[in-house]
Amino acid sequence: MQTKPFRIGTRGSPLALAQASETRARLMTAHGLPEEMFEIVVLSTKGDRITDRALSEVGGKGLFTEELEAQLLIGELDFAVHSSKDMPTTLPAGLELSAYLPREDFRDAFIGRTAPSLMALPDGAVVGSSSLRRQALIRRRRPDISVINFRGLVETRLRKLEEGQVDATLLALAGLNRLSMPDVATELMDPTDFPPAPAQGAICIESRIGDRRVLDLLESVNHQPTFDAVSCERAFLAALDGSCRTPIAGYAICEGEHLKFSGLILTPDGSREHAVEMEGLRSEAGKLGAKAGTLVRTAAGPDFFADWT
């Protein structure tokens, strides 16, 4: 019987702590365990400390996970809680994404200071975003406005917006919901026209492969439709060698035993794109995502990628 608390690794941002707390609450309910059986361990990551440059310039998505994964591998943590869209497609040897909580709304939220929607912004307006995907989608719809790099915690970006550094920004609606701040959104972006990042809105749990004690604990909170949908999306990303240098969007929706996937790649200026749609059995989610990625890469051709990698 487990006598020591399970150690849950997380970043220290308000959003990361909210996600770790949600995970703990679900595990407490599922197993009838008291709060003291779960210790939330906060670690600072390089991605948290470097906020003045784009992620693509300083190492990509792994900057938000390296310190947590190092502690997982040596047994100092039992598992770690992450925003799924922050996870590299290749994990360190010995680690896996073993569970996903039920997915939140995966749409992007537009937060306007001088206009309530992207299309209502005046010519020459400035939008702040650190996401190459969002930057490309903004430029696709509004090539007349300026897009600047805009990093930091949710609260930091909202403060910069209020100070007038930009006219608008975009954030994941899921994060705003988890922080009880959905009302700051002035427009919710239609995913058919402004698709989310792969895995957006999903909380994942990373653990050691074969750690039966932890895997048995996590199995009770795993949401299989989210697991299947995000597995498809991450396979799409992996087939495209997705990183913080690539504007890639995509989302999967489970319908019964079937799954529908829509994916999109763009050039950073939003002037060119290639889309793909696929559907099939949820049991083959990973294969579907990988096939979609291969198809869109082939359709785009090497020159498409050579222009911006």
Catalytic residues: 86
Which residues are within 8 A (CB) of 36 and not within 5 positions of it... i.e. 6 or more apart? 5
Tokens 């890639």 belong to 248
Angle at 239 between CA 236 and CA 245, to 5 degrees: 90
Token digits of residue 58: 């300083």
CA distances from 53 to 46, 49, 87 (A): 12, 11, 19
Token pair, residue 110, equals 């537009």
DSSP string covering 256-268: TTEEEEEEEEE-T
Strand partners of residue 273: 266
Distance CA 193, CA 110 (A): 13
74 exposure class (CB count in 10 Å sphere: 0-12, 13-18, 19+):
exposed
d(CA 231, CA 40) in angstroms, rounded, equals 26
Would the CA dihedral through 106, 154, 109, 125 be positive or negative? negative
Nearby residues of 22 by Cβ (< 8 Å), 6 or more positions away? 101, 178, 203
**Pairwise CA distance, residues 218 & 203, whole Å:** 13
- At position 258, the amino acid (one-letter code) is H
Among candidate residues 131, 107, 108, the one with its CA nearest the CA of residue 253: 107
